[in-house]
Structure 1
Amino acid sequence: MNHILELAERLAQTHDLPDDELLVLIRRRNPGASSFLKAEARALCDRIYGKEIYLRGLIEFTNFCKNDCYYCGIRKSNRRAERYRLTQEEVLACCDMGYPLGFRTFVLQGGEDPWFTDERLCKLVAAIKKRYPDCAVTLSVGERSRESYQRLFDAGADRYLLRHETATESHYKKLHPPELSLKNRLSCLQALRDIGYQTGCGFMVGSPFQTSEDLVRDLRFLKEFQPHMVGIGPYLSQRDTPFRAEPNGSGELTLFLLSVIRLLLPEVLLPATTALGTLLPRGREEGILCGANVVMPNLSPEDARGKYLLYDNKLSSGAEAAESVFLLRESLENIGYRAVAAKGDSLVS
């Protein structure tokens, strides 16, 4: 036990560990080491970002997707999914609702929907930026060409979220159909960073077939890539996917890894995700206390929220709903933090 605590202390001091020691830390983690890392991660985040938690308004604008990822509830083969696309007017209405509530970042998230060509998506981004020039626009719409990413950036998109899902090629193949590749996913991430986006990546914790070695490779990839934001959350099953019978990921391990990531990447923006809040009763608050500093309430129209089902039982009401932001502010104040109306740019260079 003393050895594990020593590893935790060294991670907090040096912001890195060799892969073999990261593996030991994950495999042999214990309550003492977890509590130490939680406290160190929170203190580090407080020194850099203070007691401010950044709000992002999530707009799930399409659940059409051309891909067939084995874990995802909006995969193209799921004929039970109720498909929808929001119009530009509907998306702008979401922004109109979110702005007076204090949202200064709008996150457009959707499946890889071919209907949203560069022309249509650029027009949407430009419309948001024209109406709200003091706000950031974040896109999370999957793999596109470098030229597409450049056009969207030129139209006004500031940030892009693209989870790498796993940094282990053999594991990636077990989660995705043959036409998708880790090589292309990583190429997309590099293109986004090169173009000038604030770039986010991340992975599922406890996805089918995942090993501790896979998690170490994920952490090493994050350390080397130096993303501006990292989104991790527990794997949660969805009833209409090939992985419907697979067990959900661990909330405890997810919280542990949030602390590890904060210490590996001190300036990173780190969300407490909806998936964590879905799995654990106070998952969002626990995530904040483990080093997270971003929350992403849902600004989507209410009828759309029930159709964007990446996994079962997804939270979309209460403090997860943007219109109930007062509940979120209160829950954050109860643990000593405050939600701020700010773009909340990453400090990562």
Structure 2
Amino acid sequence: MKDLIDKLEKNQILTKEEFVKLIENRTPEAADYLFEKARAVRHKYYSKDIYLRGLIEFTNYCKNDCYYCGIRKSNKNAIRYRLTKEQILECCKIGYELGFRTYVLQGGEDPFFTDNNLIEIIREIKQNYPDCAVTLSIGEKSYRSYKAYFKAGADRYLLRHETASEEHYNKIHPKELSLSNRKQCLRNLKEIGYQVGSGFMVGSPYQTTENLVEDLLFIKELNPEMVGIGPFIPHHDTPFKEFKGDNGELTLFMIGIIRLMIPNVLLPSTTALGTIDPNGREKGILSGANVVMPNLSPVNVRDKYLLYDNKICTGDESAECRHCMENRMNKIGYDVVVSRGDIKPKTI
């Protein structure tokens, strides 16, 4: 396995067969070797700095019905909410005082938030905090809408493709959604000029090793600035409630691979990793990640934005999340920094 990991480190793309071999024949020893190489690469670009993203989950209404998601429109047990513009701005104010310089506005695809609503919110955030980045994570929109948000001041856009296999995509999404449109949205975002984030679930129902390889090859082709991956965790009010969701070890291995594939990528260690393992986020950083995303949402709505079961940190105040994360990173030898946390150029 070391020879394949060495090829990745030299920025040589593996064949499909080599990727399958690497993933299916991984061992603890191979993982340790991969993580050692991945840490060396991320230290080259980012030293031991950890970038914070302040997550504001502003609506859990969604018009989509993805089979794996706890806020899918068919979930009649979900307690729905929307934050007002004033509440969102208050989250930003609290976050700024805590050292956050990137805000991530994340929500379901909620028709209530029109382009005009979103543009007004983006503009006001940028006006109040010109030294901060605004990231949107609000799903599939038209080219025109993406352009309007960008013009209003949005810097980044997160849109996980979830799976690059059309056959697999159709098994975990309703027929109204299409992988081709998802991929086109990502290409539109790149063309407009966003710093783009994509990503996928690891261990989702019906996923094969070949599907994971397709994800890696698509990520390599897209060359996004950010890649967010996390383990599939079932939600009790979805069609996939009976599926197993303990995929942390494989998720960490994929993080290491992605760090070597795109050396300067912004790579989060996700809340989902921390949900399945008390030390999951630390392990993500030690596997090659360099971003963490504490929650700035009001405490009274956090337990309502449940994409999956047993999500952590739903009862913590923003300051608690921030300081807890800093302490966790310090304990493994890393430093949370006050920074927008933009991507470093590949020329280093």
- TM-score bucket (shorter structure): over 0.9
CA displacement at 1:331 relative to structure 2: 1.2
Q: How far apart, CA to CA, are the structure 2 residues paired with 1:187 and 1:151?
A: 17
Counterpart residue number, 1:110: 107
Pairwise CA RMSD: 1.3
Matches within 5 A, 1:1-349: 4-317=1-314, 321-347=318-344
Which amino acid is 1:5 matched to? Answer: K
Q: How far apart, CA to CA, are the structure 2 residues paired with 1:93 and 1:68?
A: 31
TM-score (norm 2): 0.97
Q: How far apart, CA to CA, are the structure 2 residues paired with 1:325 and 1:133?
A: 21
The question of whether the paired residues in 2 share the 8 Å contact of 1:319 and 1:327 is answered with: no
The alignment partner of 1:126 has SS state of helix
Deviation by residue 1:312-349 (Cα, 9 ceiling, x = unmatched): 00012588955431221111111111000100111357
Deviates more, 1:245-254 or 1:159-168: 245-254
The question of whether the paired residues in 1 share the 8 Å contact of 2:299 and 2:315 is answered with: no
The question of whether the paired residues in 1 share the 8 Å contact of 2:133 and 2:155 is answered with: yes
Q: How far apart, CA to CA, are the structure 2 residues paired with 1:179 and 1:334?
A: 46
The question of whether the paired residues in 2 share the 8 Å contact of 1:121 and 1:152 is answered with: yes
TM-score (norm 1): 0.97
The question of whether the paired residues in 1 share the 8 Å contact of 2:303 and 2:315 is answered with: no
The question of whether the paired residues in 2 share the 8 Å contact of 1:5 and 1:32 is answered with: no
Q: How far apart, CA to CA, are the structure 1 residues paired with 2:315 and 2:306?
A: 17
Query: Where does structure 2 lack aligned partners over 5 or more consecutive residues?
Result: none
> Percent of aligned positions with the same letter in both sequences?
59
The alignment partner of 1:14 has SS state of coil
The alignment partner of 1:112 has SS state of coil
CA displacement at 1:153 relative to structure 2: 0.5
Deviation by residue 1:63-105 (Cα, 9 ceiling, x = unmatched): 0000000000000000000000000000000011110111000
Q: How far apart, CA to CA, are the structure 2 residues paired with 1:9 and 1:48?
A: 18
Deviates more, 1:310-319 or 1:273-282: 310-319
The question of whether the paired residues in 2 share the 8 Å contact of 1:55 and 1:297 is answered with: yes
The alignment partner of 2:10 has SS state of helix
Deviation by residue 1:11-57 (Cα, 9 ceiling, x = unmatched): 22334211210110001101111100000000100011111000000
Shift in CA distance, 189/322, structure 1 to aligned 2, threshold 3 Å: farther
The alignment partner of 2:82 has SS state of coil
Deviation by residue 1:121-170 (Cα, 9 ceiling, x = unmatched): 10011111111010000000000000000000011100000000000000
Which amino acid is 1:307 matched to? Answer: K
The question of whether the paired residues in 1 share the 8 Å contact of 2:302 and 2:314 is answered with: no
Q: How far apart, CA to CA, are the structure 2 residues paired with 1:345 and 1:323?
A: 25
Q: How far apart, CA to CA, are the structure 2 residues paired with 1:319 and 1:218?
A: 34
CA displacement at 1:9 relative to structure 2: 2.3
The alignment partner of 2:197 has SS state of strand
Which amino acid is 2:129 matched to? Answer: Y
CA displacement at 1:7 relative to structure 2: 1.6
Deviates more, 1:9-18 or 1:139-148: 9-18
Shift in CA distance, 323/89, structure 1 to aligned 2, threshold 3 Å: farther
